[in-house]
């Protein structure tokens, strides 16, 4: 095999082999015989060592001028192996297989002989549905998870992929979510990194079982009608010397310039995103998870770090060749990534975790964008939490923390995230952030969740927040499921489930998330209440949202409505079923015949203290001139 007879080696060198995982690494080529292929462009020699050779080196052969090395050896599935790289200085260094599909359990870093994981898929109906219905006009409500701390055995050990599938999938389905987002499951050494400091870009972590078990987890989710998204980290990788760092004794996957290679903020190495072979490697990783593992999307981590030269600590004065702060090769890589992914998977979710004001992150490339189809709305999240953490009587002068989001809501296709980052490292859980005593904390949390679920944009909530866990998230132990023995937590869980299901049931809350026609504000100047209408595709499909942001009940409160007739309150956050005090709820409301706030009519309600109401048309009538 050489570059003249292997067009994919040529494409790999050009940064255009997007299924390089089918060739690189270890693959079974005949019964008991494995072929090894590795990229080590500046190595003086490469050998494979493993259980199958009693850890004696088996030399590989260079393939022309490609920088790739190949060879074959007999071995059994599951046997461990590594590469021995002889550097130009004559030093022999031990390295992982960058393309391995499986690794031994930490703290070891040896790969396992494992060909492409196999699974008999049963998700054709799910796959067809994704292709038929654009995600933009569907409900998208994501349950973010860290599998290692959702639940554990009594002795503190991890549950397996199989055990997690039986536990997680029915729970997430029952709670009314549409997707599960998994924090990085690619192989990593340090538990405390939560998977964001990676070494295995093609290997589901061995913590929870075999690669095939992970595929079965995804299949089970799809059969249950749940999508699966995974966090993916193409910007940087773990520093450990036996992984990707200085792979052939020189900067290989990282930048040649040590200043650019050094990621100070996360203690990692930055990928050289301008290097074509690195592009083939990373885009192939994305394709592996989307294509071979049937994931529905990737949340791309730390996009800002790939957009700017000066994003990292100590690099405030870094500039590109044109004197600007843009990371030109990083931006080009992201466009290439998204172009490649959507060419193969038009229905995929490519979500940017991006915290700057970089324009058009979620716009198509031919419109000057980066090509993602979603971006996390970090500004909305920060402002919302800042507002709700205040004492209610201190909020009067700060309603703009909520309403400012309306200025830029449609600048991007946003996901509203209450993620793991907001409930860890001393930040407190969402419930614990709320002001007042325990009762008022839950009342505030319910109102904030209504704001979250009715504001334009798709949704993401981190595990445990749905029942108001008091403790902040800890990666080293299970969620505090014992909380659900407390009636307040159980009621909060019931509220979140009810709200999730109501969200899915009412198209007006999601079908026009990215169109200004999908929302009309009727009361936005406060300072104590907000009211707005979420609108669907027809004149009769709308939901009226009213927030009382003060702990004071208001009698006979007027609410503008877009048509005369009868309305019903479909959600009252102060219902005793949800932990509130209201046992007798208003149901049917009749319009008064009085126009209000630019609308043709109004209804009047008792607005509970610190509450939110969702109101829907029951039987409305329109004048002939109304549309």
Please give the positions annotated as active site: 301, 353
CB 610 within 8 A of CB 538: no
In whole angstroms, what is the distance from residue 472 CA to residue 478 CA?
12
End-to-end CA distance of the chain: 69
Please provide residue 10's backbone torsions phi and psi, each rounded to the nearest 5 degrees.
-65, -45
Tell me the two tokens of residue 264.
């100070």
Quick one: which of 162, 237, 231 has its CA closest to 462?
Answer: 231
Quick one: which of 129, 159, 348 has its CA closest to 224?
Answer: 129
Tell me the two tokens of residue 106.
């930490």
CB 59 within 8 A of CB 74: no
In whole angstroms, what is the distance from residue 608 CA to residue 440 CA?
13
In whole angstroms, what is the distance from residue 52 CA to residue 36 CA?
13
The Cα-based distances of 563 to 93, 506, 598 in angstroms read 75, 18, 11
Q: Widest CA span of the chain, in angstroms?
A: 89
Under DSSP, is residue 45 helix (H, G, I), strand (E, B) or coil? strand
Tell me the two tokens of residue 125.
């109906």
Tell me the two tokens of residue 87.
């550097």
CA 457, distance to chain mean position in Å, is 14
Q: How many CA atoms lie within 13 A of 171 on its CB side?
A: 18
């Amino acid at each position: 095999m050489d570059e003249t007879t292997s067009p994919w080696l040529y494409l790999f060198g050009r940064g255009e082999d997007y299924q390089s995982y089918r060739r690189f690494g270890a693959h079974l080529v005949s019964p008991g015989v494995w072929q090894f292929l590795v990229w080590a462009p500046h190595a003086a020699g490469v050998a494979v060592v493993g259980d199958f050779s009693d850890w004696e080196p088996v030399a590989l052969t260079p393939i022309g001028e490609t920088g790739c090395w190949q060879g074959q050896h007999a071995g059994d599935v599951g046997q461990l192996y590594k590469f021995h790289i002889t550097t130009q200085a004559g030093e022999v260094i031990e390295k992982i297989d960058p393309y391995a599909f499986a690794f031994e359990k930490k703290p070891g870093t040896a790969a396992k002989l494992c060909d492409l994981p196999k699974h008999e898929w049963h998700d054709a109906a799910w796959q067809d549905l994704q292709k038929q219905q654009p995600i933009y006009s569907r409900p998208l409500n994501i349950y973010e998870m860290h599998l290692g701390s959702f639940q554990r055995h009594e002795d503190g050990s991890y549950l397996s992929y199989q055990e997690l599938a039986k536990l997680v999938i029915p729970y997430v389905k029952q709670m009314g979510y549409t997707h599960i987002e998994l924090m990085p499951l690619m192989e990593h050494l340090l538990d405390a990194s939560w998977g964001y400091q990676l070494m295995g870009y093609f290997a589901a972590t061995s913590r929870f079982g075999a690669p095939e078990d992970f595929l079965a987890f995804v299949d089970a989710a799809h059969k249950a009608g749940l999508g699966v998204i995974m966090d993916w980290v193409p910007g940087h990788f773990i520093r450990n010397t036996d992984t990707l760092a200085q792979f052939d004794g020189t900067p290989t996957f990282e930048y040649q310039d040590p200043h650019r290679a050094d990621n100070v903020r996360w203690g990692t190495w930055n990928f050289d995103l301008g290097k074509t072979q690195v592009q083939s490697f990373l885009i192939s990783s994305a394709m592996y998870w989307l294509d071979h593992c049937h994931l529905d999307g990737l949340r791309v981590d730390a996009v800002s770090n790939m957009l700017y030269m000066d994003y990292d600590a100590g690099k405030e004065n870094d500039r590109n060749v044109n004197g600007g702060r843009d990371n030109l090769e990083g931006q080009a890589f992201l466009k290439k990534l998204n172009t490649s992914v959507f060419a193969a998977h038009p229905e995929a979710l490519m979500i940017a975790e991006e915290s700057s004001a970089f324009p058009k992150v979620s716009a198509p490339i031919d419109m000057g964008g980066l090509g993602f189809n979603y971006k996390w709305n970090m500004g909305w999240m920060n402002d919302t939490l800042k507002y709700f953490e205040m004492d209610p009587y201190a909020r009067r002068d700060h309603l703009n923390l909520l309403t400012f989001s309306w200025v830029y809501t449609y600048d991007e296709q946003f996901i509203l995230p209450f993620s793991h980052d907001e409930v860890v490292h001393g930040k407190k859980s969402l419930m614990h952030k709320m002001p007042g005593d325990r009762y008022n904390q839950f009342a505030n949390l319910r109102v904030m969740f209504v704001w979250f679920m009715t504001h334009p944009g798709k949704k993401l909530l981190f595990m445990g927040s749905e029942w108001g866990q008091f403790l902040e998230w800890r990666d080293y132990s299970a969620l505090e499921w014992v909380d659900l023995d407390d009636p307040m937590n159980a009621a909060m869980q019931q509220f979140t489930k009810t709200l999730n299901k109501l969200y899915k049931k009412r198209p007006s809350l999601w079908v026009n998330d990215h169109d200004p026609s999908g929302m009309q504000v009727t009361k936005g100047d406060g300072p104590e209440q907000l009211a707005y209408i979420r609108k669907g595709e027809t004149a009769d499909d709308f939901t009226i949202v009213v927030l009382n942001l003060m702990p004071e009940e208001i009698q006979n409160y007027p609410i503008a409505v877009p048509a005369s007739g009868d309305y019903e309150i479909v959600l009252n956050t102060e219902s005793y079923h949800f932990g509130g005090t209201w046992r007798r709820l208003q149901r049917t409301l009749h319009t008064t015949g009085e126009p209000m706030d630019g609308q043709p009519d109004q209804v009047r309600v008792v607005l509970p203290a610190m509450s939110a109401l969702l109101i829907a048309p029951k039987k409305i009538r329109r004048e002939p001139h109304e549309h």
